[in-house]
Structure 1
């Protein structure tokens, strides 16, 4: 029970910390004050948090092995196989990199509440990819839930375009096109996240690797791929609204340290984000290993209310009734999808209980009729 709680709380904290860093300003290398727009660097901090899981795993395994009691094979952090090919975790790390850069760029351009609501669209792609790669059956209830979620997403994106004209206080660009671009990036990023979730589910359930170790290796590969991509994006000319830096590129790495020196407050959300990412990604893989990708996305949707409440409390955005309607439609879709999962669980539990019941009845009948010298499998007497 504590794993889903950690997952929801740290996930909400991650979003709030990233949005906080997006609202902070600092002096760039050209002397101008700009907001902290560095999605690639924020992604690197996320992978740094995952790499901390690798460090924690190695330290825990070292001390548990020194005891000589075999505790390293039973502890929740270290239990699982250690003989596996780490290169298999390169693909999910790459997919996570692509999705995270798109997500963080979208978060910079749009509202924090809309960001979390639109992430529910991952449930649609998880259902489709799960049916293709995991042979999971999609019933009519699942399809109706996906259609309802699509309607909710359409409502949220439509109202965001309209309210950008009056609720633009914390937006870097008050134009509706910029908000729409951010929302579309968030939705498209869910395709890569859904592919990552399905791959992780198939790989983790096919092996008994420790989720802490798997998270750590993803962090290692993620940092390597992010470093390679960072060199390219550092020199990639980019149009507005993606070029809020000194050189007009996608992510000007030369502005990072000057901004952090001129505004030391930037260190707080970024350091907290690294720590929170370690717990979040460990809990995420644990849910996938012992449950499913769909349940991970469903649990991820629980933090919408928490993020929305904090956005109002911090005065990052104003209340909008149409957004509430879109949120209600989204919840109707997720509840319908969740009920479909609960219905499958209910049927499997009932079927298992009936099998055990009939097995017990057969045993009792066999014991009552088994007398010495009398066969219990003779044919019935003819009448």
Structure 2
């Protein structure tokens, strides 16, 4: 299950970036990039809504088999195992948080580098740790705080190098402006606050009930789709500054350009369709990990996603190789590993234990006599600790 998370995250991020690079003819006759964060968010929740349909299809199949007297493993199937009685409105809040975070993420992805987009998402671990300590009564030890500080240092490295490399690495950037890239990075960071709140709420909800995660994913898709439609109607008329107004009417998201762009460039359907199914799988696996583990482990499960996406962006020539970016990635991974386990403390303890064993072995040799029998130890200076 944990192996599905980095795969689906990698697929979702790359497909969203792919759709951002494709162009289509807008309603005013000009060809522009497919910059529609609201439409992409709606497709994401459409994928979650498919989980809602899937779980009831499975439920109907098991009911049909039971009526025919055949063996049914409904209670053992991960898709239908659990109780189906719940208050759907309890899932309205995480869906609303997901809508806000997704719109900010997709807008930030359009403005910045895809590798930086993925690296900055590690910041969610900081907010998850803080929110878990507040709402789930989890204890944060010294190593957790040290890991958060290390992750913060890595984020500062990424932010600083992105502002500098705009001058020479700007192949897919819509605006060759360091302020636009910094705005995209800050949007990604702010989105992690909402995502962290969503993860902690889901953990508290799922561990207090026995509801199938597929059903929870489906209800979030229902509410998320409705909220996105309402927000989309408002943002369709909201005037926006450069670089957020690359459409026919200069608004945040011109929904009137969507169908003309899809008709003029059918290739746009490919990343959107893949994004629908990858979003469904990603959210289902994420909720399953949260239910049986924790929201922090859900973020740690996709630790390889940053390296994979950075490598793919480099191979596709979307970005240029930058040594400072690699250093930022290493610092982020050090913080992630330290949060998962006190690996550096374990190394220190192992080193101290090996030194003490060597000292005791030397002491045992010194206290023995020539016949190999134990003797009286000689006076020796005390070990300084």
**Interval of TM-score (by shorter of Structure 1 and Structure 2):** 0.7 to 0.9
Show the counterpart of 2:248: 246
Query: Please, what TM-score do these two structures have when normalized by structure 1?
Result: 0.88
How far apart in 2 are the matches of 1:289 and 1:71? 21
**Aligned in 2, Cα 1:281/1:6: closer, same or farther, shift over 3 Å?**
same
Show the counterpart of 1:25: 23
How far apart in 2 are the matches of 1:186 and 1:301? 17
RMSD: 1.4
Deviates more, 1:296-305 or 1:160-169: 296-305
**Which residue of 217, 220, 231 maps to 1:218?**
220
Q: CA deviation at 1:136?
A: 0.4
* Kept after mapping to 1: 8 A contact 2:35/2:253: yes
Alignment of 1:307 onto 2:309: yes
How far apart in 2 are the matches of 1:25 and 1:278? 26
Show the counterpart of 2:130: 128
Show the counterpart of 1:4: 2
Show the counterpart of 1:366: none
How far apart in 2 are the matches of 1:289 and 1:302? 22
How far apart in 2 are the matches of 1:89 and 1:300? 24
1:139-165 C-alpha deviation (Å, 9 max, x unpaired): 110000000000000000100000011
**Aligned in 2, Cα 1:328/1:341: closer, same or farther, shift over 3 Å?**
closer
How far apart in 2 are the matches of 1:58 and 1:8? 27
For structure 1, the 5+ residue unaligned runs are 345-383
**Aligned in 2, Cα 1:116/1:278: closer, same or farther, shift over 3 Å?**
same
Q: CA deviation at 1:16?
A: 0.2
* Kept after mapping to 2: 8 A contact 1:65/1:71: no
How far apart in 2 are the matches of 1:341 and 1:276? 33
How far apart in 2 are the matches of 1:72 and 1:90? 27
Return structure 1 stretches of 4+ with deviation > 4 angstroms.
340-344
Show the counterpart of 2:363: none
Show the counterpart of 1:373: none
How far apart in 1 are the matches of 2:170 and 2:211? 46
Per the alignment, in what secondary structure is the counterpart of residue 245 of structure 2? coil
How far apart in 2 are the matches of 1:290 and 1:340? 22
**Which residue of 31, 43, 46 maps to 1:45?**
43
Alignment of 1:63 onto 2:65: no
**Which residue of 163, 173, 177 maps to 1:175?**
177
Per the alignment, in what secondary structure is the counterpart of residue 301 of structure 2? helix
Q: CA deviation at 1:52?
A: 0.6
* Kept after mapping to 1: 8 A contact 2:337/2:343: no
* Kept after mapping to 2: 8 A contact 1:118/1:186: yes
* Kept after mapping to 2: 8 A contact 1:57/1:212: yes
Query: Please, what TM-score do these two structures have when normalized by structure 2?
Result: 0.87
* Kept after mapping to 2: 8 A contact 1:97/1:222: yes
